[in-house]
Amino acid sequence: MALKYSAKQRKLYLNMTDAIGARWIDVFQGDTDFYSAAYWDLLTNIWRQDAPVRKTDALRFMTGIKSAHTAGKYIDIALKKGFLEEMENPKDARSKLVSLSSAMRRELDEFFDNAVEEVREMSVKLPKRK
């Protein structure tokens, strides 16, 4: 397969993802324990929903975690840290709902604003295909 982009273009992409990754750590005030695909999957998928989700659905958001028990530990930590909030499900008393805390929603809104800005800036620097 012929490559479509130059090494310089690929490095620009890596620089952009590095900047976005650094901002992800800033969301958690530098706590690198949350620099993981599991938290990325969990928090960004809940953010996408714009509404509380069933806890069992949130467990499935973490695609790299195959054990529901292990995924539950990630949710428990996010709840203890105040990133998520848990509530009763008014439609089904057998399940719980989780949502982003208002502080985490604001942090992620700012994070995505900055990420989109990085993409826009990089697109100006990125020359056309080689």
| pLDDT attached to residue 4 | 86
| pLDDT attached to residue 1 | 83
Domain contains 29: yes
Query: Which CATH number does the domain housing residue 29 bear?
Result: 1.10.10.10
| pLDDT attached to residue 125 | 78
| pLDDT attached to residue 47 | 98
Domain contains 130: no
| pLDDT attached to residue 130 | 55
| pLDDT attached to residue 8 | 87
Domain contains 40: yes
| pLDDT attached to residue 129 | 65
Report pLDDT digits (tens) over 39-59.
999 999 999 998 999 999 999
Domain count, the chain: 1
Q: Are strands 84-88 and 96-100 parallel, antiparallel or unpaired?
A: antiparallel
pLDDT lower than 70: segments of the chain: 129-130
| Element of type H or E holding 44 | helix 37-49
Domain contains 115: yes
Domain contains 37: yes
Kindly state the percentage of the chain with pLDDT values over 90.
80
Domain contains 2: no
| pLDDT attached to residue 51 | 93
- State the pTM of this model: 0.88
Burial class (CB in 10 A: 0-12, 13-18, 19+), 42: buried
Contact present, 26 and 110 (Cβ < 8 Å): no
Domain contains 1: no
Range of the domain at 82: 7-125
